[in-house]
Amino acid sequence: MTVVRTRVGIVGAGPAGLLLSHLLAAAGIESVVLDSRTREQIETTVRAGILESWLIELLRQTGASDRVDRDAQPHQGIELRFDGAGHRIDFRRLVGRDVWLYPQHEVLRDLIAARVAAGQDLRFGVVATGAQDDGERVTVHATGLDGEPLTVEAEFVVGADGSRSVVREAVAGSQQAGYFREYPFAWFGILCEAPPSAEELIYSNSPHGFALISQRSAAVQRMYLQCDPELDPQAMSDEAIWASLRERVAPHPLIEGPIVQRDVLRFRSFVASHLRRGRLALVGDAAHTVPPTGAKGLNLAAADVVILARALEALLLRGDGSEVDRYPEVALRRIWKAQQFSWWMTSMLHTVPGASEFDRLRQLGELYSVVESEAGMRFLAEAYTGWPLG
Ligand code: DHB
């Protein structure tokens, strides 16, 4: 059995775990990061694409990415489409902030490259099986690539291991302990090879269901359509996908091209019952899941990490544990605001199976009350572009 000793053990090399190791290293605190996946799997999984501006600034300022300067594209607003017409929400004018289109796997490539260049102990293909704070030592138990047991002993352990977190059990008491909400629909996501169909994102509510037109680059686009959670992504023909997208954003024209990837994203809201126990804490999807409408998941994970990194600096460099004590309270304020926003965007924009005509017309009333009100549009813009981190 191998025992590795470090200051902070981090389970999960997704955006949360990698950003945490990066911020801790900048403060002179060493960590070990474990992930069950390979580096290639992590770097090629297609995920969300919208980053709040403070996060772009953080990646730039801490030297995590120089590619954001070249490749991230500022978006000054979004379009809400409903009742056959588009309505622009102008973030720049309403709140003076942009959001940035920079795909999550690019953030991961940047962070992994920066951590590897800095000599970070980053172990891929290592499956964590549990974590424990026995009052004396905090440990992570894992199985290495060769099947050998591996134990990480640390002063603090962080679960950044996603929605199926194994660290959650040690923090919250069980895998399921928390607050849940399921939704009766999912998103069918595609990547296609075509020029952009719109300069900004289009969130469209239509009688045929929701659609989102997003972008990736001059040559590749990302689009989503509301679907049944049980839909087999291979069961729909390319033509059926395009027909469905077209009718949901009509009369806005779409530029079609070969569909090169498809996936189904399930919708769920979750907040773990506890975010910290002793010298164990949860960040990112291990702590919470939001439905994707409104693009809060990655940004929320990064916000947890910034709050926890500051708290760990106080604890490990100055022996001051008060910020770690306050971590759940500070993080949860933002988490529940993001839960509310993601739930609101989701329920305002999607077609609920079996909804009455009253519900459908009330939904249009809600959408008009946002786009015909400065206060309504500003509320949406403040949340979408991200609340200040403080
Ligand atoms: C994307 C995903 C989202 O969930 C969203 O709200 C906006 C954009 C994307 O993948 O581009």
Which among 15, 22, 75, 183 is annotated as catalytic?
75
HEC secondary structure over the chain: CEEEECCEEEECCCHHHHHHHHHHHHCCCCEEEEECCCHHHHHHCCCCCEEEHHHHHHHHHCCCCCHHHHHCEEECEEEEEECCEEEEEEHHHHHCCCEEECCHHHHHHHHHHHHHHCCCEEEECCEEEEEEECCCCEEEEEECCCCCEEEEEECEEEECCCCCCCHHHHHHCCCCCEEEEEEEEEEEEEEEECCCCCCCEEEECCCCCCEEEEECCCCEEEEEEEECCCCCCCCCCHHHHHHHHHHHHCCCCCCCCCEEEEEEEEEEEEEECCCEECCEEECHHHCEECCCCCCCHHHHHHHHHHHHHHHHHHHHHHCCCHHHHHHHHHHHHHHHHHHHHHHHHHHHHCCCCCCCHHHHHHHHHHHHHHHCCHHHHHHHHHHHHCCCCC
Distances (CA, A) of 52 to 17, 91, 93, 226, 345: 18, 12, 16, 24, 17
Segment 5-14, tens digit of pLDDT: 999 999 999 9
C-alpha 215/C-alpha 223 separation (Å) is 7
Task: Express as a percent the part of the chain with pLDDT over 90.
Answer: 96
pLDDT of residue 46: 84
Segment 195-209, tens digit of pLDDT: 999 999 999 999 999
Ligand 1 and 299: CB distance under 6 A: no
pLDDT of residue 366: 98
Domain with CATH 3.30.9.10 in the chain: 183-267+352-385
* CATH class for the region spanning 183-267+352-385: alpha beta
Domain with CATH 3.50.50.60 in the chain: 2-73+99-180+269-345
Reading the block at residue 157, the tokens are 């352990």
- Residues 52 and 28: beta-carbon distance below 8 Å: no
Q: What is the best residue among 102, 183, 188, 212 to mutate for testing ligand 1's pocket, by most ligand atoms within 8 Å of CB? A: 212
pLDDT of residue 328: 98
Minimal CA–CA distance to 349: which of 188, 185, 214? Answer: 185
Residue 285, pLDDT above cutoff 80: yes
Segment 203-234, tens digit of pLDDT: 999 999 999 999 999 999 999 999 999 999 99
Residue 54, pLDDT above cutoff 80: yes
Exposure of 205 in the CB half-sphere (CA atoms within 13 A): 22
The band of 74, judged by pLDDT with boundaries at 50, 70 and 90, is very high
pLDDT of residue 288: 98
- Ligand 1 centroid to 101 CA: how many Å? 9
pLDDT of residue 265: 95
C-alpha 363/C-alpha 351 separation (Å) is 9
Task: Express as a percent the part of the chain with pLDDT over 70.
Answer: 100
The band of 48, judged by pLDDT with boundaries at 50, 70 and 90, is confident
Residue 146, pLDDT above cutoff 80: yes
- Ligand 1 centroid to 195 CA: how many Å? 17
Peptide bond into 253 cis (omega under 30): no
Residue 390, pLDDT above cutoff 80: no
For the segment 326-343, the average pLDDT, to the nearest whole number, is: 98
C-alpha 359/C-alpha 338 separation (Å) is 24
Active site residue 368: no
Active site residue 22: no
Region of 131 on the Ramachandran plot (φ > 0 left; ψ -120 to 50 alpha; else beta): beta
Active site residue 203: yes
The band of 299, judged by pLDDT with boundaries at 50, 70 and 90, is very high
Exposure of 193 in the CB half-sphere (CA atoms within 13 A): 2
Residue 268, pLDDT above cutoff 80: yes
* CATH class for the region spanning 2-73+99-180+269-345: alpha beta
C-alpha 249/C-alpha 295 separation (Å) is 19
- Ligand 1 centroid to 378 CA: how many Å? 20
Minimal CA–CA distance to 368: which of 91, 76, 80? Answer: 80
Which among 291, 292, 327, 328 is annotated as catalytic?
292
- Residues 52 and 294: beta-carbon distance below 8 Å: no
Residue 136, pLDDT above cutoff 90: no
Ligand 1 and 298: CB distance under 6 A: no
C-alpha 376/C-alpha 31 separation (Å) is 44
